[in-house]
Amino acid sequence: MAQAELQVEVGQAVPDFTLPSSSGEEVSLQQFRGSKLIIYFYPADNTPSCTQESCDFRDAHPLFGETNTAVLGISPDDLKSHNKFITKHGLPFQLLSDPDHTVCELFGVWQLKKLYGKEYMGVVRSTFLIDEHGILVKEWRKVKVKNHAAEVLEAVGAKE
């Protein structure tokens, strides 16, 4: 089966997945049925852009809560790294570890990247909005961090 056939698409149900969480538990997509869910994929803990993005989602967290919207961050980093990142920046949501890139590939964010003339595989910063029924309703790919959390808040109907 071609890779593209395995990727999520706007308007379709997102297949359930389970990943280890910074909370020490396994977290499944199914657990968020009945509320909206923002999943943001980011390359690495404690890097400048990833820190800014995570802190922007942290600062907006109360407004997401007012719209019955949960937030999850996913990167390939391990749980020890996630827990240090959460503690250092006071993140009020869970970070999930995807070291095998399974969920990253499901969402099509594990891609060939280039930096300083070198090619490597990595996470392309992306955010997804899943509705109360598990349907992917909006996606932001190749995200620029500036004002991104505000755009996502607007999409879920939050009033700033």
**Residue 4: predicted pLDDT:** 44
**What number of other Cβ atoms are within 10 A of residue 97's Cβ?**
19
Residue 41 has pLDDT above 70, yes or no: yes
Q: Is 23 within 8 Å of 93 (Cβ atoms)? A: no
Average predicted confidence (pLDDT) for the chain: 93
The arithmetic mean of pLDDT across residues 52-56, rounded, is 97
Query: What is the set of active-site residues?
Result: 50
Q: Are 136 and 128 in contact (CB under 8 A)?
A: yes
Q: What pLDDT score does 139 carry?
A: 97
Q: Which residues have C-beta within 8 Å of that of residue 76, sequence separation ≥ 6? A: 44, 97, 98, 99, 101, 104, 123
Residue among 100, 119, 101, 118 nearest 110 (CA)? 101
Please give the sequence-ordered ranges of beta strands (E in DSSP) within the chain, or none if there are none.
18-20, 26-28, 36-41, 69-75, 94-97, 110-115, 118-123, 126-130, 136-140
pLDDT at residue 160, as a whole number: 59
The pLDDT tens digits of the residues spanning 84-134 come to 999 999 999 999 999 999 999 999 999 999 888 999 999 999 999 999 999
Q: What is the pLDDT of residues 1-40, one digit of tens each?
A: 334 456 899 999 999 999 999 999 999 999 999 999 999 9
The CA distance from 144 to 124, in Å, is 11
- Which of 46, 48, 55 has its CA nearest to residue 75? 46
CA 9 and chain centroid, separation: 15
What's the pLDDT score for residue 11? 95
CB 142 within 8 A of CB 14: no
Q: Report the distance separating Cα 105 and Cα 99, nearest Å.
A: 11
Six token digits for residue 104: 């990253």
**Predicted local confidence at residue 2, as pLDDT:** 36
- Domains belonging to the chain, first-starting first, are 3-156 (3.40.30.10)
